[in-house]
Structure 1
Amino acid sequence: MNSTAISIISAPSVPTVVQGDSPAGISRARRATRAFTDRLTPAPGPDTVEALVLVVSELVTNALRHGGGRYTLELSVGPCTVTAAVSDLNPAHPRERAPDLGGGTGGFGWHMIRRLTHHLAITPSIRGGKTIHAQFPR
């Protein structure tokens, strides 16, 4: 008798969407990201989940600080990937700058986002803003 292993992949049928317009929205986005990954079968590995949560936190923070003060986060999953897409009102692409090692003014986020994601894309919004798509292997 031949035995065939069958993998069942289950995922939320509808993407998770979170919107925010204040610093309280940053922790809400992190919680939503963890809850989203907890519902995936098979679940992404712990390193992927931590990287995803960190990237979501950075993208949402940047949207609030530099993107017009509001964001929309959409979390979705494919057979081999998990994607976080963060939209804001500012059409300008993020710019790299030298991290401020002494003054506390930042500059680390975009470098970190680029390093942690498997694939990164920026698309313009028809309403004048942009969406940053950060993709991770599942």
Structure 2
Amino acid sequence: MRRVLSEQSRTRGTACTPDTLSDALLVASELTTNAMLHGGGVTDFDVEVVGQNLYLSVSDRERRRPVMLDPVDRHGRRRCSGRGWPIVCRLSRSVLVSDLPAGGKRVTAVIPLCGDSPVGGAPAPGRQHRNRT
């Protein structure tokens, strides 16, 4: 992913910040970890830069969609897991979960590359989080 972003920055003449790269790497890590832990493994991984956005897609074998969990369980104890999906949603301009024809799902996170971060203030224009239950 570092290579893709570096090449795109050089080609387009726009420098992406270290924070942008860190956000993209963290989202990639969380999506692939979720696919391995909850989705039966990663079946496809795709990175594409379109305009000023990075489209990061991870596919797995499970049709169940990611869910937002409360940070505490029904007994009031803090959960040891369940932080990945909120991180993905927070760092992404939009997140789309789609069913795959042969089974499984694809999760696509759209990450703003330069100067339009959704973190730390009002959401970026058009920011959507779809299919969270």
Structure 1 length-normalised TM: 0.69
Asked if the contact 1:100/1:106 (under 8 Å) is kept, the reply is no
Counterpart mapping for 1:38-57 below 5 A: 38-41=6-9, 42-57=14-29
Is 1:36 the counterpart of 2:14? The answer is no
Secondary structure of the residue aligned to 1:126 is: coil
CA–CA separation in structure 2 for the residues paired with 1:104 and 1:79: 38
Which amino acid counterpart does residue 27 of structure 2 have in structure 1?
Answer: V
TM-score by length of 2: 0.72
Give the whole-Å Cα distance in 1 for the aligned partners of 2:62 and 2:15: 33
**What is the letter of the counterpart of residue 60 of structure 1?**
T
Contact between 2:42 and 2:58, CA under 8 Å: does it hold in 1?
no
Partner of residue 105, structure 2: 130
Gaps in structure 1 of 5+ consecutive residues: 1-32
Q: What is the percentage of aligned positions where both structures have the same residue?
A: 31
Task: Judge conservation of contact 1:85–1:133 (CA < 8 Å) in 2.
Answer: yes
Q: Distance in 2 between matches of 1:37 and 1:43?
A: 9
1:104 Cα deviation after fit: 6.6
Q: Which residue of 2 aligns with 1:69?
A: 41
Q: What amino acid is aligned across from residue 35 of structure 1 in structure 2? A: R
**How big is the alpha-carbon RMSD for the aligned residues of Structure 1 and Structure 2?**
1.9
Q: Distance in 2 between matches of 1:90 and 1:131?
A: 9
